[in-house]
Each structure stands twice: as C-alpha cells, then as structure tokens.
A and B are shown apart, each in its own frame.
Chain A
Amino acid sequence: MLEAMTRMDNILEVRDLKVWFPVRTGLLAGLFKGEEKFVHAVDGISFDVRRGEIFCLVGESGCGKTTTARSILRLVEVTSGRIEFNEDGKRIDLASATRQEIRNIRPRIQLIFQDPYESLDPKLAVLEQLSEPLRVNKVKGTRQEIMDRVLRALSNVELIPPETFLMRYPHELSGGQRQRVGIASSMILGPSFLIADEPVSMVDVSMRADILRIMLHIKQRGQASFLFITHDFSLAWSIGDRVAVMYCGKIVELATAFDLIRAPKHPYTRALISVVPVPDPTYERKRIILTGEAPDPIDVPKGCRFHPRCPIAKERCKTEEPEIRDAGGDHWVACHFWQDPIP
C-alpha cells in the first residue's frame, strides 16, 4: 500500500485523511439527542505529491477535492489522518501542527483561487495586493527592494510592463489579468508548494492557456510543485503529471495522466472520460452516461460508494467496500471488478 512507499522526494504525503463536518440539526432535533450526523466530505484518502510535479485531483462537485485543498492549508480542521509536508529534510504534519507552526510554514504553501472576481480585495490596488504578503510575513527590505520584488512578480506572470499595473484596481482588470495578479501574490513569498483550486474555470477560454502556461513555467523552472484541483479532465490531460479521481470523499483511481486518461480502469473514470466533450463534431465514441447523481455525503451508500450508479455493479459491491490496489504499473484502482468490460 501507499504507506510503504514514503520517499524523500515527496513534498507532500497525505495519509488516510478524513474531514467530517457535523450537521447542524434544528433546535428540536438537537434537544432530543439522537445520533449525530456528519458530512463525510473527505473520508480516508491517501496520496503523494512528488517534488516538481503537477498532481491533479479530479472529481465532480461535492466529491471532496476542494475540502482536501482547504484542509492542507488548515482553512478547515482535519478530523483525522496525516498531511506531511516535507522540505529541506524537515517533516511537519500539517494536520496536527499548532497554529504557530502553521503560520511559520504559510509562506511555503500557497493557494491559487478559483474566482478571479472574488479572490482580490476590491479596495486594494495591485501594488497593495502584492506587498501585503510581504508585510504580513515581516519580510525585510527597503522600499525599493520590496518594489523590485513586486515588479518582478508581475513580470513573471506576464503582466508587462509591470509598472503600468501597480496602481490599478481589480475592477479595472480583465478576469485573466486578475487571476494573474492572484498568482503573483501567491508566488511573491517564494512558496515551494502551490495548491491551485480550479484556477481557470472562471476565466475566459481564450485566456486560459496563458494561466496554464505560467503555472507550467513555474513547475519547469523548479520553483514549485502543484496540487491542481479541477473537474475538467482536459486540463489534467494538458498539464498534469499524475492524476487521482475522487468520488464521494474517496480516491477511486490514481495513475499518471497518460495512463489514467488513455486507459482508465475504474468504471466511474471510464464513464467520465467517455463524456468529456471534444471540439470535433465528427468524433464518435460510445458515451457511458450514468443515471442519477452523486450521493449525499451525509448518507453514504454501504459497500462501494459508486455501486448504485455503476454499470457493472455486482452483489459483492453492495456490501464490501473495495480497497485501492495497484492494478499494475503504478496504476491504482478501488474496484472489485475493474477488469470487466462495460456494456
């Protein structure tokens, strides 16, 4: 299993991570104390991010991928499990670290947000957006040195000439430009690990490639490793190194981007990939369209979580939850019958 494979070149190791939220019951229900219900947003996942790679976490909304990202940064509290951040030979478990330890490590792990319209403070100009991380982390330097850092950060995200952007406010920038300012403000502290949560889904299509290219450059220059969260397999195909697919709080498949997308094994992955739209009207393929929708993470189905919608589910799937296993070639699947063809 994954536990045995702790490597020195993993920058992040997640082991059996669980994030459960208590369900707020109504006033009366709370008085008659019954069973407390939980939202099993993340229900025991394990994966590694290797140094210098772009690791994609793919899944539909509600599968737990965003909660995973937020728990790594301790924006939500972890229920159980380990999140080991491994840098310069030092290991720290983010899940159990103290608030002070988290604050110290913050500059090393940063987040790229989804919404370019919401992730920038509308009252701050670009210069202030970028100098704030430096000020908050008490980075030393003369005013000129700080200014140089800000200008360099803007050039790195291709906002050129950088001087012309300093005094602009978010509402004066396009979505793509705002997203780049967001990336610049995340990069200015020199993090070694970036979590990008749907970084291009709210950016116009013609500007997405720029953002992706900037991220790819960051990776290729060896500046940082990425955890890339998305629902869009085509993005994982374009820039992902390895991909994990989440369903209802669990990882159902994990492999290199090439293997997972060209030869998916889990029936859920196979269905999803078969329906990814392609900008070619002549392309024909058999679409595996699942019925119904993903289950409520409060009342998770017994056995395999996917069995109610699975086209190849059998009796065993209703009672026994499949373990994630190596199906050969470092391609991990959590399915009893992944070898069966889908009708």
Chain B
Amino acid sequence: MTALLEVDGLKTYFRADGEYVKAVDDVSFRVNKGESVGLAGESGCGKTTVALSLMRLLPSNASIQGGRILYEGQDIVSMSDRRLRKTRWKEISIVFQGAMNALNPVKRVVDQIAEPMILHGDVSKPAARKAAERLVELVGIDKTRAKEYPHEFSGGMRQRVMIAMALACDPRLVILDEPTTALDVMTKTQIQQLVKNIQKELDLSTILITHDLSVIAETCEKVAIMYAGKLAEYGDVVSVFKAPLHPYTEGLIKAFPNIRGSRELPASIPGTPPNLLHPPAGCRFAPRCPIAGKECEALPPDKTLETGRFVSCWKR
C-alpha cells in the first residue's frame, strides 16, 4: 500500500515569552490510501497541533521547527504558498473541533458548501450549487433543507454540514478533529456511521483526532497514541488494543470503562502530564510509569517492528 501521507519527525513549537513550548516534538506516522488512522491522546498531548501543522494552519505564535510532511511525495512544510493553497481543501481538508459554530450565520448552507468549489476555480456557480446539494444529501440531510440557514439546524446537522464542506473539493484526505465531542451519544454514532460510509464510498483516507479511545477502536484501522508531544505507540487497532506495548497505552485503555466488562472502577494514571515548556530530559511518561527504571532517565529509542508497529519505550 502506497502511503498517501507520511509525517516524518515533525516538530512544531509555540513561542511564549521568548521560550519554546514543544507541543509536537518529533512525531512520525503514515496514512495509506483509503485508510482511517486515529490519533489519540489527552488534552495537551499535541494532537490538534499535529492536525494544524498538516495543513499549515498554525496560529502566528507557532511554527514548524523541523521534520517533513510528505503528501504524495511533496513536502508540505517547504511547499510554496501557491502550491499550498492548491493542496488545501482540494487534497486535504479538515473538520474542526466545535466546527458547528464555525458556520456563517447569514449565508445559506448550500452556499457555504459551494463556496470552496467556486474559490478553487474550476466550477461555475450553478454547477457548484448542484454539487453542494448532492453533498448535502450524501451527509444525510434532506435536499430541500439545503437552502436554509445554519441556525435552523440542530448541532448534529450542522456537524454534517461541516463534513459536507470538507468534501466539497473532493479531497483525498480528511482530518477530523474531535468531530463529535459536543454531541449526544446517539448523534455521535450517527455521524461516525456516516463518516465510515462516506470513507468507503469515496475511498477516502481519514485521520480522526480524539481523546476517546473507544471511538477509535470502533472506527479506525490504525491508531497512534500521543503523550506530551511525542508518539508513544502506533500500530493497527486490533494489536494495539489487544496487546498494548507502551505502558501509557495500557493505562489509557484501562481508564475507559467497558460497559461489556465487569462492574468495576476504571483505572487511573497517577500524576499529571509534564510541562512542555521544560519537558523532562528522559522519557516523558517516566514520572507516571508503573514500570519505569533507571534507563528511563534518557530518551527512549524508537523501535519499529517488522509488523509495522512502533513503540517508544525502553522496557518493551
């Protein structure tokens, strides 16, 4: 399988008071064609920063300090602005967190979906409108409602509109950053099912960014676990969940209560994540790790196994 996207040693830092917050510090993973990859981690681990870096949509106080992002062989980090604009939305698009509030309240929904098509130049307005209506249907909204305004839609429906917008220019890769966090579990499931169907139908690759491991278990093929700006583990979903290698992965999986399991408290991981302004010199998880040893005072090696699994730990 050819890699559609290959992230190699990505480093994205934020500038604060003259020092650097190492939000993403040497992260590598790949997304193959038609594959769905989950990027998991808790708040502050850097996963959203990775998403923004992929599209070079970072805020003004952040910048990519190293590494490459190869999309079909071309490095996004060093791409010219012109080429980048062509890549954005036409090749890679993104659905943001809380995106349902990002809709323009005074523009009709169908116009907002058609907008990127018109901006990218190669369709006429009426053709764009028609294509937008088809997308509205694709995301499960009745075509007759396409002419309405965002405030007439519920939260779940607005999220569907955001997905339709992300598909407007027929991208190959869609990044979804916590697309269902603020929604009810039933609406969440509806949207997840929708994304899965669309992915199969359009042969899309997706990167799903979330803190909810259960959702990744149910919808993704590969999973990358991030901790404190670094990648802890990566592999196919079944092996990572059934036989996690990194102690953080193990702890995180156990922290999700399993409604099919026995009635017990989920586990917790003692301590708090490190300050990314001055991260510890060694393994960033060591202070909270149940099996940490003397060697963990130095940065652990990145081990890639033949099965395609990756783990960054001294002990495994």
Q: Which residues of A contact B (CB under 8 A)?
A: 60-61, 174-177, 204-210, 212-213, 216, 231-235, 237-239, 257-258, 261, 271-273, 275-283, 287, 289-291, 293-294
On whether the beta carbons of B217 and A281 are closer than 8 Å, the reply is yes
Contacts of B272 in A (CB 8 A): 174, 176-177, 207
Contacts of A231 in B (CB 8 A): 184-185
In the complex the two chains form, what is the Cα distance from A238 to B258 in whole Å?
A: 8
On whether the beta carbons of A257 and B266 are closer than 8 Å, the reply is no
Report if A279-B253 is in contact (Cβ < 8 Å); known contacts: A234-B259, A238-B266. Answer: yes
On whether the beta carbons of A281 and B218 are closer than 8 Å, the reply is yes
In the complex the two chains form, what is the Cα distance from A120 to B269 in whole Å?
A: 24
On whether the beta carbons of A289 and B190 are closer than 8 Å, the reply is yes
In the complex the two chains form, what is the Cα distance from A204 to B284 in whole Å?
A: 18
Contacts of A235 in B (CB 8 A): 257
On whether the beta carbons of B255 and A281 are closer than 8 Å, the reply is no
Contacts of B264 in A (CB 8 A): 238
On whether the beta carbons of A237 and B266 are closer than 8 Å, the reply is no
In the complex the two chains form, what is the Cα distance from A205 to B256 in whole Å?
A: 7
Contacts of A283 in B (CB 8 A): 260
On whether the beta carbons of A277 and B218 are closer than 8 Å, the reply is yes
On whether the beta carbons of A279 and B186 are closer than 8 Å, the reply is no
Chain B: interface residue total (CB-CB under 8 A):
40
Interface contacts beyond A216-B265, A278-B214, A293-B184: sample of 7 additional A-B pairs, CB < 8 Å, sorted by A: A176-B272, A204-B42, A237-B259, A277-B218, A282-B242, A289-B189, A294-B184
Q: Does B43 belong to the interface (CB within 8 Å)?
A: yes
Name the contact of B238 in the complex, choosing from A60, A208, A272, A281 (C-beta under 8 A).
Answer: A281
Contacts of A177 in B (CB 8 A): 272
In the complex the two chains form, what is the Cα distance from A216 to B260 in whole Å?
A: 21
Q: Does B193 belong to the interface (CB within 8 Å)?
A: yes
Contacts of A213 in B (CB 8 A): 265, 268
Q: Does B298 belong to the interface (CB within 8 Å)?
A: no
On whether the beta carbons of B241 and A206 are closer than 8 Å, the reply is no
Q: Does B156 belong to the interface (CB within 8 Å)?
A: yes
Contacts of B228 in A (CB 8 A): none
27 intermolecular pairs with C-beta atoms under 8 Å apart? A60-B184, A204-B43, A205-B252, A207-B268, A207-B272, A209-B255, A209-B267, A231-B184, A234-B257, A237-B259, A238-B264, A239-B265, A261-B259, A273-B259, A275-B186, A276-B259, A277-B185, A277-B212, A277-B214, A279-B217, A280-B258, A281-B218, A281-B241, A282-B238, A282-B242, A289-B186, A294-B184
9 nearest A-B residue pairs (beta carbon)? A277-B214, A209-B268, A234-B257, A206-B269, A60-B184, A275-B189, A281-B217, A279-B256, A281-B237
Name the contact of A205 in the complex, choosing from B184, B187, B255 (C-beta under 8 A).
Answer: B255
Chain A's interface: helix, strand, loop or mixed, by majority? helix
In the complex the two chains form, what is the Cα distance from A328 to B300 in whole Å?
A: 58
Q: Which residues of B contact A (CB under 8 A)?
A: 42-43, 154, 156, 184-190, 193, 211-215, 217-218, 237-238, 241-242, 251-253, 255-260, 263-269, 272
Contacts of A61 in B (CB 8 A): 184
Name the contact of A287 in the complex, choosing from B43, B189, B268 (C-beta under 8 A).
Answer: B189
Contacts of A210 in B (CB 8 A): 268
On whether the beta carbons of A205 and B263 are closer than 8 Å, the reply is no
Interface-central residue, B188, B190, B237, B259, by most chain A CB under 10 Å: B259
In the complex the two chains form, what is the Cα distance from A207 to B258 in whole Å?
A: 16
In the complex the two chains form, what is the Cα distance from A291 to B189 in whole Å?
A: 10
In the complex the two chains form, what is the Cα distance from A210 to B270 in whole Å?
A: 9
In the complex the two chains form, what is the Cα distance from A205 to B269 in whole Å?
A: 9
Contacts of A294 in B (CB 8 A): 184
Interface-central residue, A239, A258, A278, A290, by most chain B CB under 10 Å: A278
On whether the beta carbons of B241 and A279 are closer than 8 Å, the reply is yes
Interface-central residue, A209, A239, A279, by most chain B CB under 10 Å: A279
Contacts of B215 in A (CB 8 A): 277
Contacts of B259 in A (CB 8 A): 233-234, 237, 261, 273, 276, 278
CB-based nearest B residue for A238: B257
CB-based nearest B residue for A237: B259
CB distance from A232 to the nearest CB of B (A): 8
In the complex the two chains form, what is the Cα distance from A60 to B269 in whole Å?
A: 28
On whether the beta carbons of A272 and B186 are closer than 8 Å, the reply is yes
CB-based nearest A residue for B241: A281
In the complex the two chains form, what is the Cα distance from A261 to B186 in whole Å?
A: 16
Name the contact of B258 in the complex, choosing from A216, A239, A271, A279 (C-beta under 8 A).
Answer: A279
Contacts of A175 in B (CB 8 A): 43
In the complex the two chains form, what is the Cα distance from A231 to B189 in whole Å?
A: 14
On whether the beta carbons of A278 and B186 are closer than 8 Å, the reply is no
